[in-house]
Structure 1
């Protein structure tokens, strides 16, 4: 079974949308599922579920401090490969709690071992009534895979269903082939841990703000 991604517009189409609607450069707190995606939004972070944000490194730059404060970010997951650490690095080490992960965006990279680490970090953030941003370089492959895995676990969803949830908020996500395969392999791992997954028909339930504030860490 292959993972399904919606048809994405061409680069020219997205550039046209950006030229027409580039006057909206602020993050939408409500982030409704049926928004119209704009190319410029790739450079912003989006709220996937309450208090869980996904975006590119550009969203965590020093110039974005005001925006990070405005949405209440307290924790940041910084995903990069060792060779990228010179330019993808924590910019607010004294202000936010960071989790830095060494993950290459290659099909042979093992990402499953990082899923429970990120899950515990997010749960810790939620227990402290905080909000977390997960970013890599572009916010498309590595960081997206980590968020998808978390949604699978907490919403009891299959990989395909979790991808739809994340893509409904950040349309440009596209984990590499190896990560997509590992997300499928994560399904039986979750089931072996006693986490039932919804049937492939649809989303079992939505993730509410109360979920983020009252996360059951015994599930980890």
Structure 2
């Protein structure tokens, strides 16, 4: 059973009417994000040693060094997005990973879930490491990849991952990304149920 799964009635992170876990509907998940518990700064800690931020945070090397950021995952890499890249950080000791993704509901972000999650996990295997995951505004692409990491490597349900991240920052994965995360939630739950 995924960690953090509530044993209550149907609803976000709960059990369905048949007593089995069911991935919540997108509307229920969006309601979790509408609570607006989190912040909306350029750089916000959403989990121990994991930060979500925008393009301004990503380009402010002085602030990154002050926060002791050691790894940057750019969820909006490329010429038409936030064009930083490893060369931008060459005068620091920051390890960089870029994902060329577009914040459109039709864009398939799912092929990047596992590589991005592995980058975050590998970074956090060093006790002093801190990871910034960013996109342009720090709400859709970046939060989608952090949610995927929490689901894949921390065994959280999608609803519990949303609760965890939105407590530290206002997030809003677009409708397409939310559906892709729902599919990941179903896939991970089915895999864990078989093992």
Taking structure 2 as the reference length, the TM-score comes to: 0.74
Match of 1:93 in 2: 90
Instruction: Find the aligned partners of 1:140 and 1:88 in 2 and give their Cα distance.
Output: 18
Superposed displacement of residue 159, structure 1? 1.5
Secondary structure (helix, strand or coil) at the match of 1:102 reads: coil
Match of 1:210 in 2: none
Secondary structure (helix, strand or coil) at the match of 1:84 reads: coil
Aligned length: 163
Instruction: Find the aligned partners of 1:193 and 1:7 in 2 and give their Cα distance.
Output: 30
Check conservation: 1:153, 1:195, Cα contact below 8 A.
no
Match of 2:73 in 1: 77
Matches within 5 A, 1:1-220: 1-2=25-26, 3-5=29-31, 6-7=33-34, 37=39, 41-42=40-41, 44-61=42-59, 64-80=60-76, 82-85=78-81, 87-90=82-85, 91-95=88-92, 96-129=94-127, 130-171=129-170, 173-194=171-192
Instruction: Find the aligned partners of 1:80 and 1:144 in 2 and give their Cα distance.
Output: 12
Instruction: Find the aligned partners of 1:7 and 1:189 in 2 and give their Cα distance.
Output: 25
Superposed displacement of residue 82, structure 1? 4.0
Taking structure 1 as the reference length, the TM-score comes to: 0.66
Instruction: Find the aligned partners of 1:125 and 1:7 in 2 and give their Cα distance.
Output: 30
Superposed displacement of residue 65, structure 1? 2.2
Superposed displacement of residue 142, structure 1? 0.5
Distance 1:191 1:93, change over 3 A: farther
Instruction: Find the aligned partners of 1:143 and 1:8 in 2 and give their Cα distance.
Output: 19
Instruction: Find the aligned partners of 1:195 and 1:128 in 2 and give their Cα distance.
Output: 31
Superposed displacement of residue 160, structure 1? 2.0
Secondary structure (helix, strand or coil) at the match of 1:108 reads: coil
CA RMSD of aligned residues (A): 2.3
Check conservation: 2:77, 2:84, Cα contact below 8 A.
no
Q: Larger relative CO (CA 8 A, sep 6+): 1 or 2?
A: 2
Superposed displacement of residue 134, structure 1? 0.5
Partner deviation per Cα, 1:151-188 (whole Å, 9 max, x = no partner): 222332221221121111002x1110000001100012
Unpaired runs of 5+ in structure 1?
Answer: 10-33, 197-220
Distance 1:195 1:142, change over 3 A: farther
Check conservation: 2:77, 2:98, Cα contact below 8 A.
no
